[in-house]
Amino acid sequence: MNSQDILPFTRPDIDEDTIAGVAEVLRSGWITTGPWCAKFEQALSEYFGGRRVLAYSSGTVTMEVALKLLGIGPGDEVITTPLSWVATSNVILTVGATPVFVDIDPVTRNIDAGRIEAAITPRTRAILPVHLAGLPADLDAIHALAARHRLRVIEDAAQAIGSLWQGRLIGSFGDFASFSFHPNKNITSIEGGCLVLPEGADVDLARRLRLQGVQRSGLDGMDVDVVGGKSNLTDVAARVGWGQLQRVDEFNARRRVLAQAYFTAFDAIGLVARGVQLPPRDFIQSNWHMFQIVPPPQVQRAALMQALKDRGIITGVHYPPIHLFSLYRQRGLKPGDFPHAETVGASILTLPLFPSMRDSDVTRVAAALDAVLRQFGL
């Protein structure tokens, strides 16, 4: 099969102006953290309604920094979802705290806010919800719980740039919000992420944690008073991210059009009646980072993925349940602990969705799914 016939599940869209801008950064001689990183942070701050924003080398480290800013460590617990990229809970382990999982709502696939309160203990310090596939978790319920129990909220908004909650942009309100700019996200800086900080957060400490804890004064003064990491964003990456941010609304609008086209195509072939679960039809709040289906149990996901791949359609798995990884089983977690996450995680499949997709690509995916499911007797 010709490589041009392959439809990936995602592809970044980098325009020529951004490519030329990166060349200018390279020619400038200042390619690590510098003026473009500052410009990108300022643009992000404006995008999020004037809140303070710092850029980092990944969306993972931004969550770790937020936990450290809150002083969360050994003996503390952080409540989160078992259906996410494993980084969500790994960062909790990294600071020495314990992730406490709460099962998902099988419809939204986000953490079930109605189950959170039962998981709160005297050791609970924070709630870390994930906006899976760009569909926001129930932030009203989560913030109400956090206020009642004097907890903090760190939103894993890695997939949610441009998503809305009750008409407000995710990241423009609330407590901490962490975003990712990995190449498979709605905008990219190649690798990178940002942390939106609430009022009163220690911005200087957040900046020091980004680069070895270094604090400078004058031309030659330097001190280190905290163990920091190496997670600064380069100017090359920042220039890409800045160019992408200018197009975020355009990208997300196209994603919504494609998502609607998927629903129309799937309705035409009766996918729901054949046992396939579709995502919520939310064209207001979701940024449609991913379009994910859950085939019925009798359809082996790997076989379905291979059959689609044979037709030139690449799919993804986002995500296996975190608590079933060996690292977490070693901590006493086991199958049956979070049945909704396990059911969804065993079958969930990410279909191609990215701004440069053609309408005909959606038709192609639907036709391929139709044909493959018929082979499964559906």
Catalytic residue among 39, 185, 230, 334: 185
| Catalytic annotation present for 185 | yes
Spatial contact of 5 and 312, defined as CB atoms under 8 Å apart: yes
Angle at 244 between CA 204 and CA 201, to 5 degrees: 20
Residue 226: which of 65, 24, 34 has the closest Cα?
Answer: 65
Residues forming the active site: 185
